[in-house]
Chain A
Amino acid sequence: MPSSFLDRENTVAPAGYNRFLVPPAALAVHLSIGQAYAFSTFNLPLTKLIGITHSAPSDWKLTDVGWTFSIAIAILGLSAAIFGRWVERVGPRKSMFAAALCFGGGFIVAAVGIHFHQLWLLYLGYGVLGGCGLGIGYISPVSTLIKWFPDRPGMATGMAIMGFGGGALIAAPLSLLLMDHFKTPTSTGVLETFVTMGVIYFMYMMIGVIAVRVPAANWKPAGWVPPVKPQRLVTTANVAVDNAWRTPQFWLLWGVLCMNVTAGIGVLGQASPMIQEIFSGRVTPTAAAGFVGLLSLFNMGGRFFWATISDYLGRRNTYMVFFLLGILLYSAVPTLGHLGHIGLFVAAFAVILSMYGGGFATIPAYLRDIFGTMNVGAIHGRLLTAWSVAGVLGPVLVNYIRQFQIDHGVAKAQAYSITMYIMCGLLFVGFLCNLAMRPVDERYHYRAPTPAK
């Protein structure tokens, strides 16, 4: 079969290639797929497709539309787990191209669903097809970056995964701008916005497809010497993906990620009503929107900051900080609320959300330390199922516990206290998982097959 532009062998970088050309290629993909976090900007307009200015009886309900995001995140985790090995085999260019087709195509299929007012097509387009684009796109540059930056893997993957946080910051104003531009007295402009965004994101992701390169075999950064002194939790061996998930280390890291994400994601989804209810009468809806924006900035910044710090602090120590500082801050939040300290309350959540983002960004380097570089992308893909679980668990915990308390006569301002203490409990479980981390048993290490005599 003739080799194509997308094949791994055509992406090998020539000698003297500047490795700092690779992070922007990864960022082009992550900045695009990060749009998913801003999907809520479409929620209300999608419920007014027929009524235009108001929701008509035949319009979709908000709860129905809300499922689109949940499906996309669930499919993200599943597709990353299923396609991880394929991504590892075909290399970053072909997998980024597949991600671009799925993500851009997902918008177009969803637009067809909007045109014919078929909810299942919206789920299939944005949720399933787009979700596959999210999963494949999320993991496609990770192992490449780790191979380009063996000296600073945390910083390199942190930079890309920061893009996923940053993508929402671009997509939210862009969606509003486009909907405003396409809006007419007979249309909400969502259909045209979906088509435009599908095309824009496909083209933007293609920049990553064209620019990405893999290092040549045995390439090392100039002047870099791998550490001679072995570090206890940084392996020089490799573990194959099929063995990795049989090790306790995989499930401990799964628990670490799941607990860290659960604690942050529930708060992120409820941030606006939470601050308004805790500081009733003192925080307006506009100021609450500002609070959400601030959290998004810290979520994004934390990804780069904490992942970079982890190169110096060590991966396990960085997660220790996340869990211990998280417990301290979550347990302080109810008191800060009672005392009416808005500034300290906001600061506490800003740090919490920076650690939420940091948890996502540091995990690929932690996986590399424990399982080696050989299959790190595929192992990362399987670990992302923890995100899917946390995506359901976090919001359910925050929303249902709040509602349960309000139903039992607790004032709205106090209804979040128990939730915060439950978050502390979850973080403590994550702390224990992290504490139990040990190097992988040698029997799981990869050994190249010996040639037959």
Chain B
Amino acid sequence: MKFRLIVLWLVVGIPLLWGVSKTLQNALKLFG
């Protein structure tokens, strides 16, 4: 159950973090 919990959260967490980091890179241009 613990393994499934980690895998599921990684499956949704990784794309979300990727999207957030891309958006953050874009957002930082506001202060550049």
How many B residues, CB 8 Å from partner?
23
B-chain residues with CB within 8 Å of residue A169 when the two chains form the complex:
16, 19-20, 22-23
Decide if A273 is an interface residue (CB 8 Å cutoff). Answer: no
Among A20, A24, A207, the most chain B Cβ lie within 10 Å of the Cβ of A24
Q: What mask results when residues 290 to 306 of chain A are scored 1 for a CB within 8 Å of chain B, else 0?
A: 11111011001000000
Chain B positions 7 through 21: 1 when the CB is less than 8 Å from some CB of chain A, otherwise 0: 011011001101110
Say yes or no: is A436 at the interface (Cβ < 8 Å to chain B). Answer: no
Task: Name the interface residues of A144-201: CB closer than 8 Å to any CB of B.
Answer: 163, 166, 168-174
A interface, over-half SS: helix
In the complex, what residues of A have CB within 8 A of residue B9's CB? 24
Enumerate A9-54 residues with CB–CB distance to B below 8 Å: 17-18, 20-21, 24-25, 27-28, 31
Could you tell me the distance between the alpha carbons of A339 and B26 in the complex, rounded to whole angstroms? Answer: 26
In the complex, the answer to whether B15 meets A31 with C-beta atoms within 8 Å is: yes
In the complex formed, the residue of B with least CB distance to A166 is: B16
| A351 at the binding interface (Cβ < 8 Å) | no
Evaluate contact between A24 and B19: CB separation under 8 angstroms.
Answer: no
Closest residue of chain A to B16 (Cβ to Cβ) is A166
**A294 to B27 CA separation, bound complex (whole angstroms):** 5
Q: How far is the CA of A72 from the CA of B30 in the complex (A)?
A: 31
Chain B's nearest CB lies how many Å from the CB of A164? 12
Give residues of chain A (344-361) contacting chain B, Cβ–Cβ below 8 Å.
346
Chain A: minimal CB distance from B32 (Å): 7
- Select which of A24, A166, A171 is within 8 A of B8 by beta carbon: A24
**Cross-chain contact of B29 among A166, A286, A297 (Cβ < 8 A):** A286
User: Complex Cα distance A290/B22, Å?
Assistant: 11
Contact A293 B12 (CB under 8 A): no
In the complex, chain A residues whose CB is within 8 Å of the CB of B23 = 169, 172-173, 293, 296-297
User: What chain B residues lie within 8 Å of A27 (beta carbons)?
Assistant: 12, 16
Give min CB distance, B10 to chain A, whole Å.
9
**Which residues of A (290-345) have their CB < 8 Å from a CB of B?**
290-294, 296-297, 300
B29 touches A31 (CB 8 A): no
B29/A287 in contact, CB under 8 A: yes
Q: A28-B11, A296-B23, A297-B23 are in contact. Are A170 and B5 (CB under 8 A)?
A: no
Contact with B along A202-214 (1 / 0, CB 8 A): 0000010001000
Q: Which of A31, A171, A290 contacts B27 (CB 8 A)?
A: A290
A419–B23 alpha-carbon span in the complex (Å): 28
The reply on A289 being an interface residue by CB < 8 A is yes
Contact pick for A211, options B8, B18, B26, B29, CB 8 Å: B8
Q: Contacting B20 at CB < 8 Å: which of A17, A287, A297?
A: A297
Find chain A residues with CB under 8 A from B32 CB.
286-287, 290
Q: A18, A31, A207, A290: which contacts B16 (Cβ < 8 A)?
A: A31
Tell whether, in the assembled complex, residue A290 and residue B31 are in contact, meaning their CB atoms are under 8 Å apart: yes
Could you show 8 A-B contacts with beta carbons less than 8 Å apart? A24-B9, A163-B12, A163-B16, A170-B16, A207-B8, A286-B29, A287-B29, A296-B23
Chain B interface residues toward A at CB < 8 A = 1-2, 4-5, 8-9, 11-12, 15-16, 18-20, 22-24, 26-32
State the 10 A-B residue pairs at the shortest beta-carbon distance, nearest first. A290-B30, A169-B19, A170-B19, A290-B29, A293-B26, A293-B27, A24-B8, A294-B27, A173-B22, A27-B12
Interface residues of A (CB under 8 A from B): 17-18, 20-21, 24-25, 27-28, 31, 163, 166, 168-174, 207, 211, 286-294, 296-297, 300, 346
